[in-house]
Amino acid sequence: MKTMSSPWARFYSNSCCLCCHVRTGTIILGVWYLIINSIVLLIVLSALTDPGQYHLTTAELGGDFEFMDDANMCIATAISLLMILICAMATYGAYKQHAAWIIPFFCYQIFDFALNTLVAISVLVYPHTVQDYLRQLPATFHYKEEIMSVNSTCLIVIILLFISIILAFKAYLISCVWNCYRYINNRNSSDVLVYITTNDTAVLLPPYDDPTNGTAAKDPPPPYVSA
């Protein structure tokens, strides 16, 4: 009897952070993202109710860009609500062992990882954009002069190292969520056994309780009639 295997099977693990199950880790991660996005939503809603509290003048922004206009606030509110929904679905799916509910959160992780990778590539290909970005910061920004005084090459290396650490951490979280998805999928489909014959043909055996497996009770014999 052979077992089905894939090149990615070596990366599969039921534990994460060396201390907890991937299902528990996914629940903790979903709750953490849920808390963060709830805080962001509260900040955005408070800015909508009191625009003057988060108002930035043109001199502070260093240009003619209005940071807290109505369009940006509405977009931020919609994104926060969507993220809260996605995180709640992932937490519920991991808790109730519904693998399909975890897929939106996994797709968000992939999208976020791709964006951070593009940022790292842009910094590597166009290093002068970092200095341009620092010059556009408002004069009231803390440590602006100290950061601009650092050698540009060293600054690029520090930024790339920092982004690389973030990407490695995000990749590990992605693997934890993916392993949780696979664990729940395998657990839900454990009632079907998969065997590989010598011609590499998969044969699906029905569950034990299925009446087609030949173990169902036969019809009783006809009643005995005396002569």
Write down the pTM of the prediction: 0.68
* Mean pLDDT across 131-153: 78
Question: Dihedral sign, CA of 77, 78, 81, 86?
Answer: negative
* Mean pLDDT across 132-161: 81
User: Which band of pLDDT confidence, cut at 50, 70 and 90, is reported for residue 104?
Assistant: very high
* CB-based contact 160:123 (threshold 8 Å): yes
| pLDDT score at 219 | 64
Of residues 24 and 64, the one with the higher pLDDT is 24
Cα dist from 169 to 21, 34, 35, 86, whole Å: 18, 19, 19, 20
Residue 5 has pLDDT above 50, yes or no: no
Residue 149 has pLDDT above 50, yes or no: yes
Give the number of other CB atoms < 10 A from CB of residue 149: 9
Of residues 67 and 108, the one with the higher pLDDT is 108
> What percent of the chain has pLDDT above 70?
66
Residue 8 has pLDDT above 60, yes or no: no
The answer for residues whose C-beta is within 8 angstroms of residue 36's C-beta and 6 or more apart is none
3-state secondary structure of 222: coil
Give the number of other CB atoms < 10 A from CB of residue 35: 12
Residue 226 has pLDDT above 90, yes or no: no
**DSSP 8-state code for residue 2:** B
Of residues 151 and 177, the one with the higher pLDDT is 177
* Mean pLDDT across 190-219: 49
